[in-house]
Amino acid sequence: MIMDGNGRWAKARLLPRSAGYPAGVKTLERLIEAVFELDIPYLTIFAFSTENQGRPSEEIDGIVKLIPKYFKKALPNFLKKKCSIRIIGDRNYFSNNIREIIASAENQTAAFKDRAFTIALNYGARAEIVRAVNCAIEKGNPLSETEFASCLDTAGIPDPDIIIRTGGEHRLSNFLLYQAAYAELFFIPDLWPDFNKKRLHEILEEYGKRNRRFGK
C-alpha cells in the first residue's frame, strides 16, 4: 500500500501538510481492521521512503513522531491477532529509542507465521537491491532467484499480489521494485486519509476479474 495524498488532504482543509499524517494513521488502522476481517495474510505499507529524508524537517518530524505512538497503540492488537510485525528499510536513520521500540515489536511477534504486517521505514527498493547484491557477493556463489530473494529485506514474505497507490499518481516511487514483477497495480484518485473499506472491497472485486498469466 502506497499511502499517498496526506499532505494534499491537509492542505485542502487549510491545515499544515503534517496534519495529514495523523489522519493517515487513522486510515491505516481502519485498513488493518479490514485486512484482518478479510483474512488477508500479508500487508506491507510504505510509511517513509529514503527519498522522504529530503523533505522539510517539520514534515519528517510529523511522520517520525507517529512511529512510537503507533507501535504502543497497535502492538496489543497484533499480539491478539497473532500477526507478526516486520520493518523493512534502513533503520539506522532513526533514534535509538525508535529502533528499540521497533525491535521489541518485531521480537514479541516473531513467532507468528500465518500473518505479517510489514512497515517500510526509510525504505527504498534500489537501496534494498544493492544491499541484497552485496549479501549475494558475500555468499560467494551464483545465486538462484529464490536464494537472491532471501537476501532482500522482504525475505520470507511472498511477492505482493496487489499494489495500491492512492493520491492519483501512476508510479511505484521505489517501492518493492523487485517484488512487484507480477503484482496487479491499482492507482486510485482518493487521497490516503479518504481511503476506506468500500474502496478496498471494490479493488478486491476488480482484482478477482483480472486474468493473471505470469507471462504464460
Residue bearing cell 497503540: 73
Distance CA 65, CA 47 (A): 12
Active site residue 52: yes
Q: Closest approach of Cβ 29 to ligand FPP, in Å?
A: 10
Angle between helices 96-109 and 66-80 in degrees, nearest 10: 10
Nearer to ligand FPP, 28 or 101 (CB): 28
Q: Closest approach of Cβ 202 to ligand FPP, in Å?
A: 21
Task: Say which residues have a Cβ less than 8 Å from residue 73's Cβ, sequence separation at least 6.
Answer: none
Select which of 52, 77, 174, 196 is catalytic.
52
Residue bearing cell 500500500: 1
Binding site for ligand FPP (CB under 6 A): 3-8, 20-21, 24-25, 28, 47-48, 52, 63, 66-67, 70, 119, 167, 192
Q: Closest approach of Cβ 18 to ligand FPP, in Å?
A: 9
Distance CA 191, CA 195 (A): 7
Active site residue 4: yes
Nearer to ligand FPP, 43 or 119 (CB): 119
**Residue 129: how many CB atoms within 10 A of its CB?**
16
Select which of 4, 6, 122, 153 is catalytic.
4
Nearer to ligand FPP, 166 or 179 (CB): 166
| C-alpha distance across the termini of the chain, in Å | 27
Q: Closest approach of Cβ 63 to ligand FPP, in Å?
A: 5
Q: Please answer whether residues 121 and 102 qualify as being in contact, where contact means their C-beta atoms are separated by less than 8 angstroms.
A: yes
Nearer to ligand FPP, 170 or 216 (CB): 170
**Catalytic amino acids?**
4, 52
